[in-house]
Structure 1
Amino acid sequence: MAFQTPLTINEVIGNIHSKKYLLPSIQREFVWSTNQITKLFDSLMRDYPINAFLFWKVSKENVSEFRFYEFLRDYHQRKKRHNEKANLNGSEDIIAVLDGQQRLTSLYIGLKGSYAYKLSYKRWDNEQAYPVRKLYLNLLGSSDDPEYEYEFEFLTDAESKNNDENHHWFPVGKILDLKEQGDVNEYLIENDLSSNSDKTKAKFANRTLFKLHTVIHTTPIISYYLEQSKELDKVLNIFIRVNSGGTTLSYSDLLLSFATAQWEEKDAREEINSFVDEINEIGRGFNVNKDFVLKACLVLSDFNDISFKVDNFNKSNMLKIQDNWDDITKAIRDAMKLISSFGFSRENITSNNLIIPIAYYLKHIGLPDNFEISNATISDRVKIKKWFTRALLKRVFSFMPDGVLKPIRDIINKNNGKEFPLDEIINHFKGTNRTLVFTDEDIKNLMYSKYGHGDTLVIMSILYPWADLRNNFHVDHMHPKSGFTKKKLQKRGISEESIEFYLENYNYIGNLQLLESIPNIEKSNMDFDKWITDTISKETMDDYKSKHYIPKNIDLSITNFEQFLDEREKMIIQKLKSELL
C-alpha cells in the first residue's frame, strides 16, 4: 500500500462522474446528513484537514470477480437511498473506495447532485414532503452559527432566489463551470458583487468565491493510499481495520459486509436492501432497517448467540442465512402483514424487535399462507395480538432485546405448536423487569394516554376488538377538541374551576373513540350530544353506547363533561382489567 500524489476535488468529482471510481459491495450506504455535508465544505474552505482516503485498484482482468456499485448522485430520503450496481461490461481498470465514501459522496452531492429530506411536519408517504435541494453558499456574509465560518445551505430552487442585501446564494456546483480565475471575476462583475456599495461585503464575496475556486480546482486536497491486492479477504480485513475509527461501522454493517463477501448464490446487499424497502411499504408503512432484518436472520436461523459480534459473522453462519433466506423473508413479511392487520404501523410501534418473535413463530409452524385472514387461525391471532399489545404497553423491548428474544424463542420451540404460547411467555417473565402482568395501578396509568401518542392506538385495539383496523379508522375526540377553548367554554357557562379541568382532560383516552373515517368527517366539530342523537337510531343506540363505552342515562352535553369523563373512564378501566389482569 503506497501513498499517492494528491488530487484536486475537481479531478475526483470527474472520476466519480465517469464511473472510474466505484464502491465495493462491502461498503455500507451513504448515511451523512446535510449538516455533515455543509460542515465538510466549511472545513475545506477553512483549510482544515479532512484525512487521507484509501483506494483499491482493481485491474480489468479481475473486475468481474467482485461486485461494485456506483456512487449515489441524487439522495432522496425515501426513494433513492441505495447505490446502483455498476455495469462493468468491457471495463478498464477501476478504483474502488475502501475508506472515504461518505466524504466523496458528500462532495459529489454538493457539487453535482441533490439532497431531498423529509419535512418534519408532513407524513412520510406524502410525495410533497421531500423537496429537492441543492447546495448553495452565501457570498455576502459569514454564518451566524459559531461552529461555521461560511454559510452553506441546502436550498430548494425557490429558496435560492431569496437574495437580499445580506444574501447572494451561489450554487456551489457552478464553481465546476468557472474553470479559470477570469471566469470567477466575470461572475462577480455580472452579478454586481464586486461593485457592491458595501465594500466589506464586496471584499467578502471576492475572497469567498476565489477561495472556493482554489479549493475545488487548484489545491490538491485529496490525499490517498492505494491498495492493489487481488485477495478479497485481505481487502475485507483492511476495510474493517480502517473503519474501526471515526464513525465506527456498526456490527450490522460488518455483518452485511461479510454476507456480501461470502454469499455465493445471492447478492446480500441487494437482497437485504430491496427487502427492507418492500416491507416498509406494507399496510400504512413501517420503519424497519437492515439492523432489524439482520437481527431477525440471527434469531430465525436458530443461532445460539444472536448478538451482533464479529465471531457470529463467520462464513458458515452467512451461508446458513443465505440458504434460509426465502423462509426468513416470508416469515418476516407475513408477521408484518399480521401486525398491519391489527392496525399497527410506523406511527405506533415503539420497537420493531416485537415483530421478530411473531416471525419466528410463523416459521416454526411451517409458514402457513394467509395466516392474517384465515378463519382457521382466528384464535391464534387473538393470542398473538394480546402478547403484542401487552409487550408494547409494557415496553419489554426498551432495553437489551436479546434478553427477551432468546427466551421467547426457546418457549416457542418447546411448545407443541398448536397455538402461540401466550400463557407460557407471560408466566416465564412474571416477577421480572420484563413482566407482561398488569396491576390496577398500571391500568389506571393507561388513562393518561393522549391523542396522537403511540400507546393510544394500542389501547384502542384492546377496547375495540371488533374493529378491523385494516380499514380506515380514526382516533376521534367524542366531544370535539375545537370546543375546548377558554372563550368557548365561558360562553357555555362553564365555571372557571371546571374550565381548568376541561382543558387538562379533553385530550385523554376517556374522551377518545375509534370511528370510521367517513362518519368522523361527517361528525367534524358537531356537539357530541347533537351528533349522536341525529346519527344513531333509537333502535341501535344502546348497542352503540355499549360498543363505545358511553355511559347510559346521563346528559351527554359538553356542560356535563366531568361526569361523562368519570363514568366513561370507569367503563374503560373495567374492560382493560378484563383483558389485561
Structure 2
Amino acid sequence: MTGNIASRLETGTPFLKDLIADINSGQIKVPQFQRQFVWKEEQALKLLDSISSNYPVGSLLLWRTKNSLAVERNIGSFKLPETDDMSPTDYVLDGQQRLTVIYSALGAAEGKDGFDAVYDLNEQSFLEAPGEFNQTQFPLRIIYNTTKLLNFRSGLVSYPNAEELQRRLDGLIDVITNYRIPVVTLKELTVEEVCPIFERINSSGTRLSTYDLMVAATWTENFDLNDEAQKIAASLKPKGFDDIDGNTVLKCLSAIKHKGIKKEQVLSLRNLSKEEMDDLVEIAKSALLKTVDLLKTDFKIYSWDFLPYEAIAIILSYIYSKRKSLSLEDVRRVRQWFWLSSFSERYRGASESFVSQDLEAIDAFVVNGEEPRKSFGSIPSTSSFKNLSFRSNNSRSRALIIVLALKSPKNITNGAIIDPEIALSNYNKKQFHHIYPRAHLKRIKAPGEHNSLANFCMLAASENNSVSDDHPNEYLPKLARELGENAEAVFESNFLPSPSTTDYSSLNYEEFLEARSELLLDAISRLAKGFSI
C-alpha cells in the first residue's frame, strides 16, 4: 500500500454494540456482491461460540466513500435493516458475513426474520432459536435490552441451580458486551485505489474480484451489471456455454470497448452511460455467440472447461465485435494464433497488460489482415513434447484433447465413432485412456514420462475398462487383428502408428512415444500454419 493510501487508513476496535448501531443508522452497509459462498447456521453458531470464548474472529475492512453502491439486504437467511442513504457510507469489503451474523443474532429486533440464536445455559452452547424455547435458553437479541435482560435473569431464580445459571448468564453477557473487533477503514479512496486491495482479500475462502466491485457500483438503478452478465450467459445456454465467469464477461466488455483489459480500462466502464452500456452488452452478446459457434465448429470445443485460456475467449469476442463474419483467410489466421498460443502456453500467468498487447496484435493480424507484428509462440519439439505431462487444467493438455477430437477418433477397441461433444462437454477422465497403461509402465519400471501427452487417446467411457492395464505388446496387436481391414483407419484416427508397418508386439514405450509424438506434432504443425487436419 502506498504512503498516500496509508495516510487515509483508520484503525479502531469498536464494541459489537457500536457496530450494530452503525448498521441500524445506515452508516455501515453491505455491498451487493454476487457471492458463491453463504454462511450456514453451523458456521454462524461457531462464530458466536468464538466470541463468547473471547477468541479473535478476524478484522473487518470498511471503505468509507461517497460513491453510491448497490447494497445487500438479504444474505441467505440473514437479514439486514432498511435504512436511508447516507454520505459518506462505510461499505464492508471484508467480513460482511461475520458482521451480518453478528447483527442478525445480536442486533435485530425480536420476532424479525433472519438468523436468530439462543444460548442454552444448561448445555452452555449456542443453538438456532427454536419455535418455543424454555426459560434457560437466553435469546441473544435481548442482550442490549436492559429491561428484558433483567427480567430474564430474574426468571432463573425458580430453578434449583439458579445461582449457577445466573453466573453463566452474567459471564456470557460480560464477554459479549465487552467484545471488540478490529476495524480498518479506508477513507475516500477511489474505485481504482480500492480494487487492488479488494482483489487480494481472501480471508473467508471466497476470492473477491473486480467484477464483484463493479456489480456493486451500478450505473443507475435501471442498470445492473450482474443482470446483464446473466443475460449474456442465458443467451449462451442453448450452446452449452452458459457458465461463463462474470470476470470474463467484464473483460470482454472492456476488450470490445477499449481494445484492452488493463485494470484502468475495465474500471473506466463505470464512466459509460446506461445507454452506452446497453449497446456494449448487446455487441458483446452477439460477439460471444459467434465466438462459441467458432469454438464448436472449428475447434470441437463444447464447453469453457476445454478452452486452453480465458484470454482466447476475450480476444475472439473482440474479433467478432469488429467483424460480422470471418472469411476463410480470417479463420486461417485465427487458427495460427490459437494453436501457437495454446501449445506455447502463451497466456500462462499472463498479465492484463500482456493480453492487451495481444489484442493490438490480433487487431492488425486478423481484423486488418496485416502481416503478424509478433510471434504468438512456437510448438514444442518432439523431444520436449513426449516429456510433457497430461493434466486436465493445463493448456497443452486441453489443446491436445482438441487435436484428438478434430481427428474424429474411433474407439481402438471396436472401431465405433466417438462423439466428441459427449467427451468434451465436460471433463471426464473416463473418456481418455493411457495407451501404454501406467500400471504396466510402473510394473516394468519403463523410462520416460508415464503420463505423457503422447500416451493418451480418446476412448468412450464404456470401453475404458476393456483395456485396463493389459500389456500393450499383447492388447494392441490383438485389437489390430480384431479390427481387420478397419485397423488402419481406426489407428490413424487416433494418431497411432500404422499397424501394418509397426510391430506393436515388440514396440517399447520409448519407441512408441517417439513415433506418436511425431505424428501428433505433424498435425499440430499443420494446425499452427492455419490449416485443418
Q: TM-score range by the shorter chain?
A: 0.5 to 0.7
Give the match for residue 4 of structure 2: none
- Secondary structure, counterpart of 2:459 in structure 1: strand
- Secondary structure, counterpart of 2:223 in structure 1: coil
In the alignment, structure 1 residue 541 sits paired with structure 2 residue 487: yes
Give the match for residue 446 of structure 2: 501
AA aligned opposite 1:563: E
Give the match for residue 496 of structure 1: none
* CA–CA separation in structure 2 for the residues paired with 1:330 and 1:566: 44
- Work out which of the residue numbers 447, 468, 472 in structure 1 matches 2:423: 472
Q: For residues 268 and 365 of structure 1, do their structure 2 counterparts lie closer, same or farther at Cα, with a shift above 3 Å needed?
A: same
* Superposed CA offset, 1:342-394 (max 9, x none): 3365545453122111111222222x6xx9xxxxx787656534432321222
**Residue 242 of structure 1: how far off its partner (Å):** 10
* CA–CA separation in structure 2 for the residues paired with 1:274 and 1:183: 52
In the alignment, structure 1 residue 178 sits paired with structure 2 residue 106: no
* CA–CA separation in structure 1 for the residues paired with 2:311 and 2:50: 39
Give the match for residue 416 of structure 2: none
AA aligned opposite 1:360: Y
- The 5 Å alignment of 1:326-341 reads 326-336=282-292, 338-339=294-295
- Work out which of the residue numbers 462, 481, 485 in structure 1 matches 2:403: 462
Q: For residues 42 and 247 of structure 1, do their structure 2 counterparts lie closer, same or farther at Cα, with a shift above 3 Å needed?
A: farther
In the alignment, structure 1 residue 429 sits paired with structure 2 residue 351: no
**Residue 541 of structure 1: how far off its partner (Å):** 0.9
* CA–CA separation in structure 2 for the residues paired with 1:520 and 1:548: 15
Q: For residues 291 and 356 of structure 1, do their structure 2 counterparts lie closer, same or farther at Cα, with a shift above 3 Å needed?
A: same
Give the match for residue 337 of structure 2: 387
**Residue 328 of structure 1: how far off its partner (Å):** 1.0
- Residues 51 and 223, structure 1, Cα contact 8 Å, conserved in 2: yes
Q: For residues 524 and 44 of structure 1, do their structure 2 counterparts lie closer, same or farther at Cα, with a shift above 3 Å needed?
A: same
- Residues 54 and 99, structure 1, Cα contact 8 Å, conserved in 2: yes
Q: For residues 269 and 338 of structure 1, do their structure 2 counterparts lie closer, same or farther at Cα, with a shift above 3 Å needed?
A: same
- Secondary structure, counterpart of 1:476 in structure 2: strand
Q: For residues 246 and 46 of structure 1, do their structure 2 counterparts lie closer, same or farther at Cα, with a shift above 3 Å needed?
A: farther
AA aligned opposite 1:105: Q
* CA–CA separation in structure 2 for the residues paired with 1:33 and 1:379: 49
**Residue 571 of structure 1: how far off its partner (Å):** 3.0
AA aligned opposite 1:511: N
* CA–CA separation in structure 2 for the residues paired with 1:531 and 1:74: 59
- Residues 331 and 363, structure 1, Cα contact 8 Å, conserved in 2: yes
In the alignment, structure 1 residue 8 sits paired with structure 2 residue 11: no
- Residues 8 and 221, structure 1, Cα contact 8 Å, conserved in 2: no
- The 5 Å alignment of 1:282-431 reads 283=240, 289-301=245-257, 303=258, 306-309=261-264, 312-313=268-269, 315-316=271-272, 319-336=275-292, 338-339=294-295, 342-343=300-301, 345=303, 347-349=305-307, 351-366=309-324, 383-397=333-347, 398-409=349-360, 411-412=362-363, 424=371, 427-430=372-375
- The 5 Å alignment of 1:199-348 reads 214-216=174-176, 218-219=177-178, 247=198, 252=211, 255-258=214-217, 260=218, 262-263=219-220, 265-272=222-229, 275=232, 283=240, 289-301=245-257, 303=258, 306-309=261-264, 312-313=268-269, 315-316=271-272, 319-336=275-292, 338-339=294-295, 342-343=300-301, 345=303, 347-348=305-306
* Superposed CA offset, 1:225-280 (max 9, x none): 9xxxxxxxxxx96885995896469655554444x1x2475322332356468869
Give the match for residue 9 of structure 2: none
* CA–CA separation in structure 2 for the residues paired with 1:52 and 1:414: 45
**Residue 511 of structure 1: how far off its partner (Å):** 2.0
Q: For residues 336 and 95 of structure 1, do their structure 2 counterparts lie closer, same or farther at Cα, with a shift above 3 Å needed?
A: farther
In the alignment, structure 1 residue 450 sits paired with structure 2 residue 401: no
**Residue 539 of structure 1: how far off its partner (Å):** 1.1
- Secondary structure, counterpart of 2:373 in structure 1: helix
AA aligned opposite 1:481: R
Give the match for residue 563 of structure 1: 511
Give the match for residue 458 of structure 2: 514
Q: For residues 66 and 451 of structure 1, do their structure 2 counterparts lie closer, same or farther at Cα, with a shift above 3 Å needed?
A: closer
Unaligned runs of at least 5 residues, structure 2 = 1-11, 106-114, 141-148, 200-207, 409-418, 425-430
* CA–CA separation in structure 2 for the residues paired with 1:212 and 1:349: 54
* CA–CA separation in structure 2 for the residues paired with 1:253 and 1:395: 28
* CA–CA separation in structure 1 for the residues paired with 2:460 and 2:364: 40
- Residues 350 and 392, structure 1, Cα contact 8 Å, conserved in 2: yes
- Secondary structure, counterpart of 2:457 in structure 1: strand
TM-score computed with the length of structure 2 as normaliser: 0.62
The answer to which of 333-342 and 540-549 deviates more is 333-342
**Residue 313 of structure 1: how far off its partner (Å):** 4.3
Q: For residues 569 and 362 of structure 1, do their structure 2 counterparts lie closer, same or farther at Cα, with a shift above 3 Å needed?
A: same
Report sequence identity in percent.
Answer: 13
- Residues 22 and 95, structure 1, Cα contact 8 Å, conserved in 2: no
The answer to which of 453-462 and 306-315 deviates more is 306-315
Q: For residues 11 and 443 of structure 1, do their structure 2 counterparts lie closer, same or farther at Cα, with a shift above 3 Å needed?
A: same
